[in-house]
Chains A and B, each alone.
Chain A
Amino acid sequence: MAKRSSWSVRVLSVGLAAALGLGLSGCGGSGARAPAGGDGQPRSGGSLRLGLGVDPVCLDPSQSGIADAINIERSIVDSLTAQDPKTNAMVPWLASSWEVSPDASAFTFHLRPGVTFSDGSALSATTVRENFDAVVKAGGRAPLAGSYLAGYLGTDVVDPLTARVRFSRPNAQFLQATSTVNLGLLSSATLARPLADRCVSGIIGSGPFVLDSYVPRQSVTVHRRDGYRWAPAIAGHTGDAYLETITYSIVPDEGVRSGALRSGQVSGVTALPVQAAVQARQAGLTVATKIIPGVVACLSLNPFVSRPAIDDSAVRQAVVKAVNRAEVVSTVLSDDYKVATSILAASTPGYVDLGSSLEFDPAGAGKLLDVAGWRAGSDGIRQRNGQRLTLEVAWTTNGGPDQEVLELIQQQVREVGIELKLRQFVTGQAFPAMQRGVGDYAWGAGAFRTDPDILRAKIVLPGPVIPPKPGSPAARLNADLALQASTVDEAERRRVVGEAQHLAVDDGITVPVYEIPAVVGLAKNVRGFSFTASANLFLYDTWLENG
């Protein structure tokens, strides 16, 4: 009896809280904003409140990989280089120039003089060395940053403002990696602190904003730094930032987050869901979007399994043809998303257009399966030698439209006689399950980086269990992925990366579906907002009209 009421009370109270939350967000707006106007000239001052979808967990750039963590860190931490969001060209930032050795195993950076961290210490070649050494020392706690420094030998302090980074083997992706937040430069004082402590406080960078506080799962506040003189070449102005403070509130529920934007509780939100973006536009709010460069949302082969169905290249190719990408985008997603035309998003350097291989072709899929001996069974699912054509997808979600997309794909491939089973896992559990042989495919909602090297992070081949056969597409893909990492010549690297994309798609090792955008909703008075090349928030140029 007591048991029963505890259930109902708890469920009811959750419902009530949700209802109240919605109600509050619906009427709690400040509502005091003056109508838009002004001369369009950026003005200094004001506080910006942003709602983020995901708690950053750790604010140390080298230890983080979550998009919303990078969104925050970008305003605190500067990098050696910056990447032009329009052309993807590398431009100077804390390094005013650099040289790359012919075999891409040594990189010499000439630092900009006069740069200081917010604790007053000066940027020098020694700081650069300390930073990269610390990343390598952090090992498993800095997986992403560590992968950028693969083969790191050390950093030579040539003179106080010249640092040479050496690798034991060619590392063509390293220059672009120096523009990422993950390899952003921190002061020596920060690096001296234990790794775990750095997650929640004391992140001292040379950025236009300074970290005030981070309350896990609640909020992060930063304030403007006076005397900032080293904005990257891609910025719209020089000198101090316009905003006085930025408060990032963590609002995980997407309904509450978009409600907070519409009611004016926050002036901007990240990860605006599909439906909310439509509504925000109708309400006259700004919706900024940018396709995130890197690997698109796709099914990718689980390298740890070998089963007759998934090992059949005809089956894999049939899945690629049976997915109606345009229908996925128009039904479940919106115009902010794009139909994938390769395993890389079109904005990624090295992308090649494989649109013709990714056309919706159910007849072609059926023909492939017929030839391979898969015949339609009584319930429409094909069989061969008494074995059903069933494939399993291991998937997790962190709030995106993954489930709807997968359910639609499930129906689409069913039309050609393939049964797709969905197995959901909590974040972090999918990969161990795949290693135990669960799932023919993994569903990945993208892996992001403005460099084709991201393919290597995404396509985990060969599996330790079943190494691909020599000469097979998977083995050739592996070889290409290794080769591109060591190829300095831009044209040659593009060729290898192009071939890798062909192999990944044509043999059905991956099933690209759609390109993923970063979708940011902004109040009417927020101006000067832009994205970085990797589609993270760049708030240095942002200002508030009538703020």
Chain B
Amino acid sequence: MSGTMTVGEALGERHRAGMVRRGREIGGGLLRQPMLAASAVVVAVAVAAALAPGAFTGSDPLQVRPAAKLHPPDSAHLFGTDQLGRDLFARVVHGAGLSLSCAVIAVLVGLVGGSLVGLVAGFAGGPLDAAIMRAVDVLLAVPSLLLATTLVTAFGFGPAQTAFAVGTSSIAAFARLVRAEVMRVREQAYVEAALAAGARHLTVLRRHVLPHTGGAVFALAALEFGGAILAVSALGFLGFGAQPPSPEWGALIADGRGYLDTAWWMTAAPGLAVVLTVLALNRISQAFESPPVPRR
């Protein structure tokens, strides 16, 4: 195979080159777009906090200090303390790991599950396609938060369960997109050529169809990531996610709910973390979506 390239591989190569170029453009655009740059910094900080919380704070997020409860933000406690005297900055930083990893799992579940369903439906066509897509329609008809809440009640409470529930409820969106992409690709001449040449369906799927659906799906995955953080936080807020005393952004906001009048920082700090991360992720995924800024 070395040296020669099928038409499909060549197209895939060109597509990859396009993505790389697009990435470079965004990289260059960063300098000219301060909001985009700031978004990148926010996401980088959030990811760094998730990977190495110890680098940001030496405080133990679980250490209770009754004497220092409900302390407003100051130099010792950047985000203040909660009703048990725990350092909120440490809790928000340590909460990043749980919130982001849940969101990653959720997106992966949606991506893998949705892609499989979409691939099969799109490639098989006919009655199987119709049956699968009607099932997907049913999933789409149920509000995602309701579906996720139902699932997490069935699975039991916990961060992993929350992530799977959120992921499952986003399978339908991925499935529809992947199916549409597959339908587009399978009409291409090189797919027909491969089939005519006697290649097995699975091989054609793997080598010619899948590589060409990737771009759109990854763009959706990037978009879903921000949504998944919100969804995971929403379920955490409702008490379905991380079990106390583990810090998780949504659960932290819920903890502060009873203290809105007296200790605003208890909701403001984790709330800000969620809002900034989601806004930043949305801004970044928008950059992938929109055409590059025209140069003069």
Contacts and interface: CB of A to CB of B under 8 A. Distances in A.
B138 to A, nearest CB: 15
Given A1-B223, A275-B258, A403 B244 contact: yes
B257 interface: yes
B244 A407 contact: yes
Chain A, interface size: which category? 35 or more
Given A8-B278, A279-B262, A331-B85, A410 B145 contact: no
A332 B64 CA distance: 11
Given A4-B223, A331-B69, A404 B234 contact: no
Contacts of B64: 407-408, 411
B143 interface: yes
B203 interface: no
Interface stretch (B20-28, B47-55, B225-233): B225-233
A2 interface: yes
A178 B94 CA distance: 54
A238 interface: no
A368 B226 CA distance: 51
Interface in A393-427: 403-404, 406-408, 410-411, 421-426
Contact of B66 (A1, A278, A330, A421): A330
B93 interface: no
Nearest to B228: A7
B170 A3 contact: yes
Contacts of A480: none
Nearest to A328: B66
B224 A426 contact: no
B245 interface: yes
Interface in A1-23: 1-8, 10-11, 14, 22
A332 B83 CA distance: 7
Contacts of B260: 22, 255
A10 B145 contact: yes
A273 B146 CA distance: 29
Contacts of A440: none
B258 A273 contact: yes
Chain B, interface size: which category? 35 or more
B144 A3 contact: yes
A327 interface: yes
A276 B260 CA distance: 10
Nearest to A259: B261
B243 A404 contact: no
Contacts of B278: 8
Contacts of A10: 143-145
Given A273-B258, A424-B157, A6 B66 contact: no
A528 B66 CA distance: 38
Given A22-B260, A273-B258, A331-B85, A7 B245 contact: no
B172 to A, nearest CB: 8
Please list the 4 inter-chain residue pairs (A to B) with the smallest Cβ-Cβ separation, ordered nearest first.
A4-B227, A3-B173, A331-B66, A411-B64
16 contacts: A1-B220, A3-B170, A4-B223, A8-B227, A11-B145, A22-B260, A276-B258, A331-B85, A403-B255, A407-B84, A407-B245, A408-B84, A410-B244, A423-B243, A424-B157, A426-B153
Given A7-B227, A7-B234, A404-B255, 20 more contacts: A3-B224, A4-B226, A7-B144, A7-B230, A8-B226, A8-B227, A254-B258, A255-B257, A274-B258, A275-B259, A331-B83, A403-B244, A403-B255, A407-B64, A407-B84, A407-B245, A408-B64, A410-B245, A422-B244, A424-B243
